[in-house]
């Protein structure tokens, strides 16, 4: 079932990409709107912490509009967009503009957003949000080959097959990397928790 949905979405995506390459603005708009969320997840996986996600995404959008006509194959759209995102994130890491610092926990905990499964009591919800910030911060410390598929998997509708197409890797490799990434995440969080308990005990 998941594969049939993927195939239908992929076929539509290729048709939109082909039309966008030919200069169809509406097709390009549709294409962008169906891919911008995972593009943001890739930026998140690679950008320096202090860089603003929406600024980088605007840079990516600008590049997409100005360069789409040079794309040779519609099937190459997803890896092409991924490469633009990675380049934009790495350029931000090299660039001089590092003034607006906003650490993860503050931005995660400042309200808004669609928090799934966090309909518990307010105090518990806050604790869960704080933990979510810790989980994300820890995930962002993982090696990039693991953190990228791990974050992409958090985007609604991103199956292993779709992630594989974005990253240019077989579905089985994506599954293996996500499984290992989750284990690394679990182990690092456990280690951090134990260190915290030890630190509290030594006070």
Tell me: does residue 162 bind other proteins (CB under 8 A): no
The stretch among 3-11, 78-86, 105-113, 162-170 that binds other proteins (CB under 8 A) is 105-113
Q: Site for other proteins (CB under 8 A): which residue of 72, 99, 122, 203?
A: 99
Between the CA of residue 102 and those of 88, 95, 110, what are the distances in Å?
19, 17, 11
Q: How many residues can be counted in the chain?
A: 203
Is the distance from CB of 119 to CB of 128 less than 8 angstroms? no
Is 150 or 165 the residue whose CB approaches other proteins more closely? 150
For residues 184 and 173, what is the distance between their CA atoms, to the nearest angstrom?
A: 16
Is the distance from CB of 126 to CB of 76 less than 8 angstroms? no
Q: Site for other proteins (CB under 8 A): which residue of 81, 92, 139, 167?
A: 139
Tell me: does residue 64 bind other proteins (CB under 8 A): yes
Helix, strand, coil shares, percent, the chain, to 5: 75, 0, 25
The first and second tokens of residue 186, run together, are: 């679990």
Binding site for other proteins (CB under 8 A): 23, 25, 28-29, 32, 36-37, 39-41, 44, 53-55, 57-58, 61-62, 64-70, 97, 99, 107-108, 112-118, 128-129, 131-136, 139, 150-151, 153-156, 175-176, 178-180, 182-183, 185-187, 189-190
């Amino acid at each position: 079932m998941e594969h049939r949905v993927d195939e239908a979405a992929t076929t539509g995506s290729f048709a939109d990409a082909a039309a966008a390459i030919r200069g169809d603005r509406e097709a390009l708009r549709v294409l962008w709107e169906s891919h911008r969320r995972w593009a943001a997840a890739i930026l998140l996986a690679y950008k320096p912490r202090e860089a603003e996600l929406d600024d980088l995404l605007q840079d990516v959008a600008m590049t997409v509009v100005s360069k789409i006509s040079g794309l040779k194959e519609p099937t190459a759209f997803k890896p092409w967009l991924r490469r633009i995102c990675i380049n934009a994130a790495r350029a931000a890491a090299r660039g001089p503009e590092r003034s607006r610092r906003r650490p993860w926990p503050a931005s995660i905990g400042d309200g808004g957003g669609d928090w799934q499964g966090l309909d518990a009591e307010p105090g518990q919800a806050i604790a869960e949000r704080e933990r979510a910030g810790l989980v994300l911060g820890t995930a962002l410390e993982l090696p990039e080959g693991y953190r990228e598929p791990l974050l992409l998997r958090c985007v609604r509708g991103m199956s292993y097959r779709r992630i594989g197409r974005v990253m240019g890797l077989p579905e089985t490799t994506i599954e293996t990397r996500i499984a290992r990434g989750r284990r690394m995440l679990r182990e690092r969080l456990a280690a951090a928790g134990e260190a915290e308990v030890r630190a509290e005990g030594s006070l």
